[in-house]
Amino acid sequence: MKPVFKNRPNTRYVVDGKEVWESRSGAVAAVILAIYKDNVFVLTEKRSQNMPDGAGLWACPSGYLDYDEDGWESMRREIYEETSFFVDEFEKYKVFDNDKDSWYTHTKPTENRQNIVLWYCIIYDFSEVGLPKQIESFKDKEIEKIKWLPLEKAFESSRKWAFNHDERIEQAVVKFKNYLK
């Protein structure tokens, strides 16, 4: 059954020929880690060439809060919209979610936007059942490819990341290493 979310999409305006979005200027992003066969994997997505920022680069699932959403709800929705992975469906395999609270808040105006990003981390233990496979065949207009990436491959110099997401993955692994054992 398809999950139901209570969000209302933000409104798009065109002002002086430029696209502008009504927004709370809040964004969410998630590091989704999975333990399987004595390895750790991270849920990643390669942004499509259609995306104005970070086209062709790898990222963690992320996006903007919609009207009437809190951070956790927005993060769950964004993960589902971008990867088809529904967090609630895998509840019994979850070993950590930081009490559904963000573990890092990004506020530095280092890009062409001044977003506040709430970072979430969820860790699953899929040792008994294997990594969910349906995600790797899912695509939408924003995402070119979705992959459970072995953690060590996330830090290969040939892999290019959008928005410093590789740094956040590394921070999450350091912060939550006790849950990954």
Domains and CATH numbers, the chain: 22-180 (3.90.79.10)
pLDDT of residue 134: 73
Beta strands per DSSP E along 48-89: 58-59, 62-64
pLDDT of residue 75: 97
- Select the more confidently predicted residue: 75 or 13: 75
Confidence of residue 18 (pLDDT cuts 50, 70, 90): confident
Tens digits of per-residue pLDDT, 32-87?
999 999 999 999 999 999 888 899 999 999 999 887 799 999 999 999 999 999 99
Q: Is the pLDDT of residue 124 over 70?
A: yes
Please name the residues in contact with 133: beta carbons below 8 A apart, sequence gap of 6 or more: none
- Among 23, 19, 55, 17, smallest CA distance to 144 is for 55
Rounded CA-CA distance 37/127 in Å is 6
Compute the average pLDDT of residues 102-113.
Answer: 79
What six digits make up the tokens of 132? Answer: 């969910």
Q: Is the pLDDT of residue 23 over 80?
A: no
Best mean pLDDT range from 18-32, 43-57, 103-117: 43-57
At 78 the three-state DSSP class reads helix
